[in-house]
Amino acid sequence: MEEYAISVKNVSKTFKIPLNGHANTLQERFINPFRKKEFREFQALRDLSFDIRKGEFFSVIGSNGTGKSTLLKIVSGIYVPDQGAVKINGKLVPFLELGVGFNPELTAKENVYLNGTILGLTKAELNEYIDEIFHFAELKDFANVPTKNFSSGMAVRLAFSIAIKVKSDILVLDEVLAVGDGEFQKKCYEYFDNMKGKKSILYVSHALNSVNKYSDRVLWLKEDRSYEIGSPKEIVDRYSKTF
Protein backbone atom coordinates (compact mmCIF):
# COMPACT_ATOMS: atom_id res chain seq x y z
CA MET A 1 0.00 0.00 0.00
CA GLU A 2 2.94 2.37 0.58
CA GLU A 3 3.43 2.91 -3.16
CA TYR A 4 -0.27 3.62 -3.71
CA ALA A 5 -2.18 6.82 -2.97
CA ILE A 6 -5.64 5.28 -3.48
CA SER A 7 -6.68 1.63 -3.45
CA VAL A 8 -10.22 0.69 -4.51
CA LYS A 9 -11.15 -2.96 -4.01
CA ASN A 10 -14.36 -4.65 -5.19
CA VAL A 11 -16.49 -1.55 -4.66
CA SER A 12 -20.23 -1.68 -5.42
CA LYS A 13 -22.89 0.96 -4.82
CA THR A 14 -26.65 0.77 -5.41
CA PHE A 15 -29.20 3.54 -4.88
CA LYS A 16 -32.94 3.22 -4.24
CA ILE A 17 -34.97 5.60 -6.42
CA PRO A 18 -38.61 6.34 -5.39
CA LEU A 19 -41.28 5.39 -7.91
CA ASN A 20 -44.58 7.12 -8.73
CA GLY A 21 -43.13 10.54 -8.02
CA HIS A 22 -43.40 10.13 -4.24
CA ALA A 23 -40.40 11.48 -2.41
CA ASN A 24 -39.25 9.72 0.73
CA THR A 25 -39.49 12.86 2.89
CA LEU A 26 -40.83 13.57 6.39
CA GLN A 27 -43.66 15.60 4.84
CA GLU A 28 -44.68 12.73 2.58
CA ARG A 29 -44.57 10.27 5.51
CA PHE A 30 -46.74 12.58 7.62
CA ILE A 31 -49.35 13.12 4.90
CA ASN A 32 -49.48 9.47 3.85
CA PRO A 33 -48.18 7.43 6.81
CA PHE A 34 -49.55 4.10 5.54
CA ARG A 35 -48.63 4.41 1.88
CA LYS A 36 -46.20 1.70 0.86
CA LYS A 37 -43.03 3.18 -0.52
CA GLU A 38 -41.98 1.72 -3.84
CA PHE A 39 -38.48 1.99 -5.18
CA ARG A 40 -36.41 0.83 -8.09
CA GLU A 41 -32.75 0.00 -7.64
CA PHE A 42 -30.04 1.73 -9.63
CA GLN A 43 -26.62 0.15 -9.52
CA ALA A 44 -24.05 2.90 -9.98
CA LEU A 45 -20.92 0.77 -9.51
CA ARG A 46 -20.35 -2.99 -9.53
CA ASP A 47 -17.26 -4.79 -8.25
CA LEU A 48 -14.85 -2.02 -9.23
CA SER A 49 -11.15 -2.39 -8.37
CA PHE A 50 -8.09 -0.27 -9.19
CA ASP A 51 -5.05 1.34 -7.55
CA ILE A 52 -3.63 4.81 -8.13
CA ARG A 53 0.11 5.16 -7.63
CA LYS A 54 1.67 8.07 -5.75
CA GLY A 55 2.17 10.95 -8.19
CA GLU A 56 -0.07 9.38 -10.84
CA PHE A 57 -2.56 11.36 -12.90
CA PHE A 58 -5.50 8.95 -13.16
CA SER A 59 -8.57 9.93 -15.20
CA VAL A 60 -12.08 8.49 -15.27
CA ILE A 61 -14.26 8.72 -18.38
CA GLY A 62 -17.64 7.37 -19.41
CA SER A 63 -21.07 8.51 -20.49
CA ASN A 64 -23.50 10.14 -18.06
CA GLY A 65 -24.93 7.75 -15.50
CA THR A 66 -22.02 5.31 -15.43
CA GLY A 67 -21.01 6.09 -11.83
CA LYS A 68 -18.15 8.57 -12.26
CA SER A 69 -19.35 11.10 -9.67
CA THR A 70 -20.46 8.30 -7.36
CA LEU A 71 -16.93 6.90 -7.47
CA LEU A 72 -15.41 10.27 -6.56
CA LYS A 73 -17.81 10.68 -3.64
CA ILE A 74 -16.94 7.22 -2.33
CA VAL A 75 -13.21 7.94 -2.61
CA SER A 76 -13.78 11.30 -0.87
CA GLY A 77 -15.72 9.67 1.99
CA ILE A 78 -19.07 11.30 1.14
CA TYR A 79 -20.70 7.98 0.20
CA VAL A 80 -20.08 4.60 1.82
CA PRO A 81 -19.88 1.64 -0.58
CA ASP A 82 -22.37 -1.21 -0.18
CA GLN A 83 -19.52 -3.65 -0.74
CA GLY A 84 -15.77 -3.39 -0.99
CA ALA A 85 -13.35 -0.90 0.51
CA VAL A 86 -11.31 2.20 -0.29
CA LYS A 87 -7.92 2.95 1.30
CA ILE A 88 -6.35 6.40 1.14
CA ASN A 89 -2.63 6.89 1.74
CA GLY A 90 -2.04 10.63 2.29
CA LYS A 91 -4.04 13.84 2.68
CA LEU A 92 -6.89 14.01 0.19
CA VAL A 93 -8.64 17.22 -0.90
CA PRO A 94 -11.85 16.66 -2.87
CA PHE A 95 -13.11 19.17 -5.39
CA LEU A 96 -16.64 18.13 -6.32
CA GLU A 97 -18.90 20.70 -7.95
CA LEU A 98 -21.96 19.81 -5.87
CA GLY A 99 -19.94 20.13 -2.67
CA VAL A 100 -18.51 23.62 -3.00
CA GLY A 101 -19.82 24.40 0.50
CA PHE A 102 -19.87 28.20 0.52
CA ASN A 103 -22.16 30.18 2.82
CA PRO A 104 -24.27 32.19 0.35
CA GLU A 105 -24.73 35.08 2.80
CA LEU A 106 -20.98 35.63 3.21
CA THR A 107 -18.82 37.55 0.77
CA ALA A 108 -16.41 35.72 -1.48
CA LYS A 109 -13.48 36.86 0.66
CA GLU A 110 -15.17 35.66 3.87
CA ASN A 111 -15.87 32.34 2.21
CA VAL A 112 -12.24 31.99 1.17
CA TYR A 113 -11.21 32.23 4.82
CA LEU A 114 -14.00 29.89 5.96
CA ASN A 115 -13.51 27.28 3.25
CA GLY A 116 -9.73 27.49 3.42
CA THR A 117 -9.76 26.96 7.18
CA ILE A 118 -11.99 23.89 6.79
CA LEU A 119 -9.52 22.49 4.25
CA GLY A 120 -6.63 23.00 6.68
CA LEU A 121 -5.06 26.32 5.67
CA THR A 122 -3.97 28.63 8.48
CA LYS A 123 -5.01 32.30 8.66
CA ALA A 124 -1.42 33.30 7.90
CA GLU A 125 -1.41 31.11 4.79
CA LEU A 126 -4.76 32.52 3.69
CA ASN A 127 -3.51 36.08 4.19
CA GLU A 128 -0.55 35.18 1.97
CA TYR A 129 -2.62 33.42 -0.70
CA ILE A 130 -5.75 35.60 -0.83
CA ASP A 131 -4.70 37.75 -3.80
CA GLU A 132 -3.42 34.72 -5.73
CA ILE A 133 -6.69 32.88 -5.12
CA PHE A 134 -8.82 35.69 -6.53
CA HIS A 135 -6.43 36.23 -9.44
CA PHE A 136 -6.50 32.54 -10.39
CA ALA A 137 -10.30 32.46 -10.12
CA GLU A 138 -10.57 35.65 -12.23
CA LEU A 139 -12.73 37.20 -9.51
CA LYS A 140 -10.61 40.08 -8.21
CA ASP A 141 -13.50 42.53 -8.64
CA PHE A 142 -15.94 40.30 -6.74
CA ALA A 143 -14.11 39.74 -3.44
CA ASN A 144 -16.69 41.68 -1.42
CA VAL A 145 -19.77 40.34 -3.23
CA PRO A 146 -21.94 37.74 -1.41
CA THR A 147 -21.56 34.37 -3.09
CA LYS A 148 -25.36 34.07 -3.34
CA ASN A 149 -24.95 36.45 -6.28
CA PHE A 150 -22.36 34.23 -7.97
CA SER A 151 -23.10 31.99 -10.90
CA SER A 152 -22.32 28.31 -10.37
CA GLY A 153 -19.25 28.71 -12.56
CA MET A 154 -17.91 31.61 -10.47
CA ALA A 155 -18.36 29.62 -7.26
CA VAL A 156 -16.65 26.55 -8.66
CA ARG A 157 -13.70 28.58 -9.95
CA LEU A 158 -13.26 30.17 -6.53
CA ALA A 159 -13.50 26.83 -4.73
CA PHE A 160 -10.94 25.24 -7.05
CA SER A 161 -8.58 28.18 -6.57
CA ILE A 162 -8.71 27.59 -2.81
CA ALA A 163 -8.33 23.81 -3.08
CA ILE A 164 -5.10 23.96 -5.08
CA LYS A 165 -3.48 26.04 -2.33
CA VAL A 166 -3.95 23.28 0.25
CA LYS A 167 -0.90 21.16 1.00
CA SER A 168 -2.28 17.81 -0.05
CA ASP A 169 -1.03 14.52 -1.44
CA ILE A 170 -4.16 13.65 -3.43
CA LEU A 171 -6.53 15.90 -5.37
CA VAL A 172 -9.93 14.65 -6.53
CA LEU A 173 -11.38 16.73 -9.37
CA ASP A 174 -14.81 16.55 -11.02
CA GLU A 175 -15.20 18.47 -14.30
CA VAL A 176 -13.41 21.62 -13.14
CA LEU A 177 -12.57 22.62 -16.71
CA ALA A 178 -16.25 22.73 -17.68
CA VAL A 179 -16.94 25.94 -15.76
CA GLY A 180 -14.39 28.45 -17.00
CA ASP A 181 -13.46 30.44 -20.07
CA GLY A 182 -10.35 29.80 -22.13
CA GLU A 183 -8.06 31.77 -19.82
CA PHE A 184 -9.21 29.87 -16.70
CA GLN A 185 -8.82 26.54 -18.50
CA LYS A 186 -5.31 27.53 -19.57
CA LYS A 187 -4.39 28.18 -15.93
CA CYS A 188 -5.83 24.81 -14.92
CA TYR A 189 -3.70 23.10 -17.56
CA GLU A 190 -0.61 24.95 -16.31
CA TYR A 191 -1.43 23.73 -12.81
CA PHE A 192 -1.65 20.14 -14.12
CA ASP A 193 1.75 20.59 -15.78
CA ASN A 194 3.28 21.83 -12.53
CA MET A 195 1.73 19.05 -10.43
CA LYS A 196 2.61 16.19 -12.79
CA GLY A 197 4.31 13.54 -10.67
CA LYS A 198 4.10 15.61 -7.46
CA LYS A 199 0.50 14.87 -6.45
CA SER A 200 -1.82 12.00 -7.15
CA ILE A 201 -4.75 13.36 -9.15
CA LEU A 202 -8.05 11.53 -9.66
CA TYR A 203 -9.76 13.42 -12.49
CA VAL A 204 -13.23 12.97 -13.99
CA SER A 205 -13.85 14.77 -17.26
CA HIS A 206 -15.63 14.69 -20.61
CA ALA A 207 -12.77 16.83 -22.01
CA LEU A 208 -10.98 13.98 -23.77
CA ASN A 209 -8.16 16.18 -25.03
CA SER A 210 -7.10 16.96 -21.46
CA VAL A 211 -7.55 13.33 -20.44
CA ASN A 212 -5.30 12.24 -23.32
CA LYS A 213 -2.66 14.87 -22.60
CA TYR A 214 -2.25 14.61 -18.84
CA SER A 215 -3.27 11.11 -17.80
CA ASP A 216 -0.88 8.30 -16.98
CA ARG A 217 -3.78 5.83 -17.08
CA VAL A 218 -7.52 6.05 -17.78
CA LEU A 219 -10.47 4.17 -16.30
CA TRP A 220 -13.47 3.81 -18.63
CA LEU A 221 -16.74 3.12 -16.78
CA LYS A 222 -19.30 1.53 -19.09
CA GLU A 223 -23.09 1.53 -19.10
CA ASP A 224 -23.24 -2.23 -18.38
CA ARG A 225 -21.10 -1.59 -15.23
CA SER A 226 -18.06 -3.27 -16.71
CA TYR A 227 -14.87 -1.24 -17.03
CA GLU A 228 -11.47 -1.02 -18.70
CA ILE A 229 -8.19 0.49 -17.52
CA GLY A 230 -5.31 1.30 -19.82
CA SER A 231 -3.17 3.92 -21.49
CA PRO A 232 -4.86 7.23 -22.43
CA LYS A 233 -4.54 6.69 -26.18
CA GLU A 234 -5.83 3.12 -26.03
CA ILE A 235 -8.84 3.83 -23.80
CA VAL A 236 -9.82 7.24 -25.22
CA ASP A 237 -9.64 5.93 -28.79
CA ARG A 238 -11.91 3.00 -27.98
CA TYR A 239 -14.32 5.17 -25.98
CA SER A 240 -14.52 7.75 -28.79
CA LYS A 241 -15.65 5.05 -31.23
CA THR A 242 -18.81 4.48 -29.16
CA PHE A 243 -20.25 7.93 -29.93
More confident residue, 241 or 26: 241
Closest CA to 166 of 127, 203, 120: 120
Domain count of the fold of the chain: 1
For 13-23, the pLDDT digits (tens) are: 999 888 765 55
What whole-number distance in Å separates Cα of residue 189 and Cα of residue 209? Answer: 11
Tell me the average pLDDT across 86-111: 87
H/E stretch holding 140 reads none
pTM: 0.86
Tell me the β-bridge partners of 164.
Answer: none
CA dist., res. 7 & res. 58, Å (int): 12
Q: Answer positive or negative: Cα dihedral of 183, 184, 186, 187.
A: positive
Instruction: Specify the pLDDT at position 17.
Output: 86
For 58-80, what is the mean pLDDT?
Answer: 96
Q: What is the pLDDT of residue 23?
A: 54
Question: Which residue range is the domain that position 184 belongs to?
Answer: 4-240
CATH code of 33's domain: 3.40.50.300
Average pLDDT, the chain: 90
Query: What pLDDT, on a 0 to 100 scale, did the predictor assign at position 35?
Result: 64
Indicate left, alpha or beta for 55 from its phi (over 0: left) and psi (-120 to 50: alpha): left
pLDDT, residue 115, reads 92
Distance between CA 107 and CA 112 in Å, rounded? 9
Strand ranges in 139-191 using DSSP code E only, listed in sequence order: 170-174
Quote the Cα angle for 164-170-176, to 5°.
50
Residue 33's pLDDT band, with cuts at 50, 70 and 90, is low
Q: pLDDT, tens digit, for every residue of 142-201?
A: 999 999 999 888 888 898 899 999 999 999 998 776 666 778 888 888 999 999 899 999
Residue 104 has what pLDDT? 93
Angle 70-75-77 from CA coordinates, rounded to 5°: 95
Answer for the pair 61, 216: CB distance below 8 angstroms, yes or no.
Answer: no
Q: How far apart are CA 51 and CA 49, in angstroms?
A: 7
